[in-house]
Chain A
Amino acid sequence: MATRSTESNALESHLEPTAKALLGDAFDRFEADQIAISFSGAEDVVLIDIATKIRPDVRVFSLDTGRLHPETYRFMERVRDRYNIQIDLLMPDANDVRDLVRRKGLFSFYQDGHQECCAIRKIKPLRRHLAGLDAWITGQRRDQSITRVEVPMEQDDVAFSTVDHRLVKFNPLAAWTSADIWSYIRSNDVPYNPLHDTGFMSIGCEPCTRPVGPHEHERNGRWWWEDAGGKECGLHGQNVRAVKIVG
């Protein structure tokens, strides 16, 4: 009879080959300069570890919002050295940042939400970069957030594809759990961001990320101040019937 430990090992043992197979397939289908890994500077370093065993010169990019932790910048440099890869740092448009900061200051997200800042510092540079690729690879996992529970291993990227340009997104770690990731990191001596040792599960920009407790979900480590604000949009009259959200 299989013990819990051996079942767990069996699970892990199929996750890595599956991710490897997907990456191998992706690299076969797309030219080297047309596919790249998106690296956040956190535990998705696992992707780089697996991918470089298949394609040592895999393209990697990171969104450098200008607000990352110092530890994350140092970690990116460590990854660059360890795997002997180039990491393209994608930076926001300087005029966009200047305009935002002049209008609202450096911490406007605490007052009116993170979306405007993320749009300028992440989405626009990402969209610009993806316009030059046919496929990208992310470390998105289903267990990371309620917004990711249906992440497939491969998908047409409807967010960034255009009428003239089809973009494919690969998520080789979609079925992995946080525990699987950490098991892989330890087993394979993969370098990791030291912030993880201080309670950070999800690592993003410094002002918008915090450590979480042992039983908290990692999403709680991001934009925690917005919970109350988000609820403010609802209509709270006592007899308003249950209704759906529309476009």
Chain B
Amino acid sequence: MTHRKITFVKKILADGQPCGKCRDVEARLTAGNHWPQINRVVVADERNEDSEGMRLAAALDVDRAPFFVVETPTETTIYTVFLKFAKEVLAATTANDDARLLLAENPDLDLL
């Protein structure tokens, strides 16, 4: 069994509202019943630069949220694209997700 720890970092906007993308990711985690695989949820609160999520983002050199930190005994991997995380870590993407990921990784394709 793989010993890994997954941390989900979500963002609270400066106006106190959760960010829309974070809500979307949470809905996807719920719909796919993936929460049991998430070990920790950390909040990056834009109103509080000392919030754990903001400090973690700074420490890991990440400039956007939501993001996932996947730690294993040998490496730490950061995913800022949920679909990539879903595919590589949760192994839970559909053909539509794969197409969307392809587009995310090749943004020029949307101009076709």
Q: Is the CB of B103 within 8 A of A123?
A: yes
Q: Does A38 contact B (CB under 8 A)?
A: yes
Q: Is the CB of B61 within 8 A of A244?
A: yes
**Which residues from chain A contact B103 at a C-beta distance below 8 Å?**
115, 118-119, 122-123
Assuming A123-B109, A232-B19, A236-B46, is B80 touching A247 (CB within 8 A)?
Answer: yes
Q: Is the CB of B95 within 8 A of A124?
A: yes
Assuming A120-B99, A232-B21, is B78 touching A247 (CB within 8 A)?
Answer: yes
Interface residues on chain A, size class: 35 or more
Binary CB contact string for chain B from 76 to 107 against chain A (1 if under 8 A, 0 otherwise): 01111100100000000001100110111111
Indicate the member of B21, B24, B77, B96 with the most A CB atoms within 10 Å.
B96
The residues in A between 114 and 133 inclusive whose CB is less than 8 angstroms from any CB of B are 114-116, 118-120, 122-124, 126-127
**Which residues from chain A contact B46 at a C-beta distance below 8 Å?**
235-237
Measured in the bound complex, the distance between the Cα atoms of B54 and A237 in whole Å is 8
Q: Does A178 contact B (CB under 8 A)?
A: no
Q: Is the CB of B84 within 8 A of A247?
A: yes
Measured in the bound complex, the distance between the Cα atoms of B79 and A144 in whole Å is 29
Assuming A120-B96, A123-B103, A241-B58, is B63 touching A222 (CB within 8 A)?
Answer: no
Assuming A232-B19, A237-B46, is B110 touching A247 (CB within 8 A)?
Answer: no
User: How many residues in B have their beta carbons less than 8 Å from beta carbons of A?
Assistant: 39
Measured in the bound complex, the distance between the Cα atoms of B91 and A168 in whole Å is 29
Assuming A235-B54, A237-B46, is B108 touching A116 (CB within 8 A)?
Answer: no
Main secondary structure of the interface of A (DSSP, over half): loop
**Which residues from chain B contact A116 at a C-beta distance below 8 Å?**
96, 100
Contact among A159, A202, A239, A244 for B102, CB-based, below 8 A: A159
**Which residues from chain B contact A38 at a C-beta distance below 8 Å?**
112
The residues in B between 43 and 64 inclusive whose CB is less than 8 angstroms from any CB of A are 44, 46, 49, 54, 57-58, 61-64
Task: Work out how many contacts link A and B, with CB atoms closer than 8 A.
Answer: 116
Q: Does A145 contact B (CB under 8 A)?
A: yes
Q: Does B13 contact A (CB under 8 A)?
A: yes
**Which residues from chain A contact B44 at a C-beta distance below 8 Å?**
235
A-B contact pairs, 25 of them (CB 8 A): A115-B100, A115-B104, A115-B110, A116-B96, A120-B99, A122-B103, A123-B99, A123-B103, A123-B109, A124-B99, A145-B108, A145-B111, A147-B108, A151-B108, A159-B105, A159-B109, A219-B111, A232-B13, A233-B19, A235-B64, A240-B63, A243-B62, A244-B63, A245-B62, A246-B62
- The chain B residues found within 8 Å of chain A, CB to CB, are 11, 13-14, 19-21, 24, 44, 46, 49, 54, 57-58, 61-65, 77-81, 84, 95-96, 99-100, 102-112
Q: Return the 8 tightest CB-CB contacts between A and B, nearest first.
A: A119-B99, A119-B100, A123-B99, A243-B63, A237-B49, A147-B108, A243-B61, A233-B64
- The chain A residues found within 8 Å of chain B, CB to CB, are 38, 40, 63, 96, 112, 114-116, 118-120, 122-124, 126-127, 138, 140, 144-145, 147-148, 151, 159, 202, 204, 219, 222-223, 229, 232-247
